[in-house]
Amino acid sequence: MTLQLKPIINPGQPTDLPAGAESLLSEEKIGPRDGAGKTVVVAMSGGVDSAVTALIMRERGYRVIGMNLRLFSPDDPEHSVNPCCGIPAMDDARATCALIGVPFYAINMETEFGQHVVDKFVDEYAHGRTPNPCLECNRHVKFRHLVQRARMLGADCLATGHYARVVHGTGDQPHRLYRAVDQRKDQSYVLYTMDQDQLGYITFPLGNLIKPEVRQLARIFGLPVAEKEESQEICFVGKGSYADFVARRRPDVTRPGDIVTTDGETIGQHRGLVHHTIGQRKGIGVPRPEPLYALRLDLTENRLVVGSRNDAEAARVTAENVSLTQGAWPDLPIEISVSVRYRGTPMPATVTFGAESGRSAIIEFDADRPIAAPGQAIVFYDGDEVLGGGTIATVQRSWEVAGAMVAG
């Protein structure tokens, strides 16, 4: 059923809801209908999640302003390589806003995105690290520049289609960030850099919904993106190889070199270190009885060091640029759970924080040990609450710890 919606006449009161929508738009699911007299900017990517976010905020009584960020212009004129960054995405966002009766604006933020996300992505890979561009986009573009734009417009808050939850504190109580109800879609890993000011200003209306419910709402209200597929690729890389994307900008990273074991034996040749990431199992190209894992990218000697799954496990990592969502800096070690991968399973660990001025920490793993790489985010959890995190600077692996103990 397709409905031609009209803007809310009485702010704070729900529209006449079509069949099937009432339970999905209950306050338990979407939050209180507290938007009377308030304005919200909704980040509109052109996908179903942001479209339903705008719909929900409208149903909560807010005056909604849809804002699409033009972040990256694909090389192909049809923008078919990755349409999430091109004109088709902007058109989908505009069509959604027109249907639900809210104003739409397109903002060009290619310069900010290029500096803070694309350039860093290329530089990090060229230096043998494993960056997370979605995290950097949230940190520098959406929750910095976009928040500034929203405040300039006089908006009371910013809403995005991220799957996560914010519980806003009152009085002296801090705002808290939590994992989404839908664990399969949870995006809290790329949100750990949010501070108290941002958490107090931003809302995630999809945090208590699961993806099928979001799709259902889009279908019930006839949103034009109800059946739109999700993009699974890095938005500016598209369907191509990240290595090819980096190589076009840094041809020096494609220099062939040796593949060696931890004891120095040469067992093959690589096509350029950019084609490998630490922890990689497939694509090494050297047949062995047991799978080989990339352990280290030796930039000095242009060598790829490989070993077994046990060799790849991290016993201890150091993190830099550590930030904590509640702001308080612990004096003593804490035992919590940490994750080194997007939607990865948090593992028990002990975190010892350095001096607050240095914003560093040492993380030691218990029996369960992940495969970790410099450049990755490591995120701290207490149950479902996100405490903060940092960027992995160094990794000490199980075989290196054992070797150090023998040498000692």
Please tell me whether residues 329 and 392 are part of one structural domain.
yes
Structural domain contains residue 184? no
Last residue within a domain, chosen from 269, 288, 309 = 309
Last residue within a domain, chosen from 309, 336, 354 = 309
- At 382 the pLDDT is 96
Domain carrying residue 263: 255-309
For 144, the token pair is 């910095």
User: Quick one: what percent of the chain has pLDDT higher than 90?
Assistant: 63
pLDDT tens figures, 229-286: 887 667 777 677 888 888 888 888 889 999 999 889 999 999 999 999 998 988 898 9
List the catalytic residue out of 97, 134, 137, 157.
Answer: 137
Question: Does the pLDDT value for residue 294 go beyond 80?
Answer: yes
For 319, the token pair is 């993190």
Helices (H) and strands (E) in the chain, counts: 12, 17
Structural domain contains residue 356? yes
Cα–Cα distance for residue pair 138/193, rounded to 1 Å: 8
Q: Cite the DSSP H helix spans in 2-118.
A: 27-30, 48-59, 87-100, 110-113
Structural domain contains residue 21? no
Cα–Cα distance for residue pair 221/288, rounded to 1 Å: 55
Cα–Cα distance for residue pair 158/149, rounded to 1 Å: 10
- At 79 the pLDDT is 53
Question: Does the pLDDT value for residue 15 go beyond 60?
Answer: no
- At 76 the pLDDT is 58
Average pLDDT over residues 316-340: 95
Count of domains observed in the chain = 3
Question: Does the pLDDT value for residue 287 go beyond 90?
Answer: no
Please tell me whether residues 131 and 274 are part of one structural domain.
no
Structural domain contains residue 7? no
For 238, the token pair is 């598209």
List the catalytic residue out of 84, 97, 157, 235.
Answer: 235
Please tell me whether residues 297 and 325 are part of one structural domain.
no
Confidence of residue 11 (pLDDT cuts 50, 70, 90): very low
Long-range contacts of 216-219 (CB under 8 A, 24+ apart): 216/20, 216/24, 217/21, 217/24, 217/25, 217/52, 217/55, 217/56, 218/48, 218/51, 218/52, 218/55
For 339, the token pair is 């994750």
CB-CB contact of 322 with 390 (8 Å): yes
Please tell me whether residues 43 and 140 are part of one structural domain.
yes
Please tell me whether residues 272 and 364 are part of one structural domain.
no
Dihedral of alpha carbons 11, 13, 18, 20, sign: positive
Please tell me whether residues 45 and 112 are part of one structural domain.
yes
Question: Does the pLDDT value for residue 105 go beyond 90?
Answer: yes
Please tell me whether residues 137 and 283 are part of one structural domain.
no
How does DSSP classify residue 151?
H
| 137 catalytic residue (yes or no) | yes
**N residues, the chain:** 408
Per the model's pLDDT, the better-predicted residue between 113 and 333 turns out to be 333
CB-CB contact of 387 with 408 (8 Å): no
Residue 299 sits in a domain of what CATH number?
A: 2.30.30.280
Structural domain contains residue 131? yes
Structural domain contains residue 191? no
Please tell me whether residues 399 and 329 are part of one structural domain.
yes
- At 69 the pLDDT is 87
Question: Does the pLDDT value for residue 404 go beyond 60?
Answer: no
Out of 165-174, 244-253, 309-318, which region has the weakest mean confidence (pLDDT)?
244-253
pLDDT tens figures, 129-139: 988 888 888 88
User: What average pLDDT does the structure give for the chain?
Assistant: 88
Average pLDDT over residues 279-302: 90
Please tell me whether residues 303 and 317 are part of one structural domain.
no
pLDDT tens figures, 181-224: 999 999 999 999 999 999 999 999 999 999 999 999 999 999 99
| 235 catalytic residue (yes or no) | yes
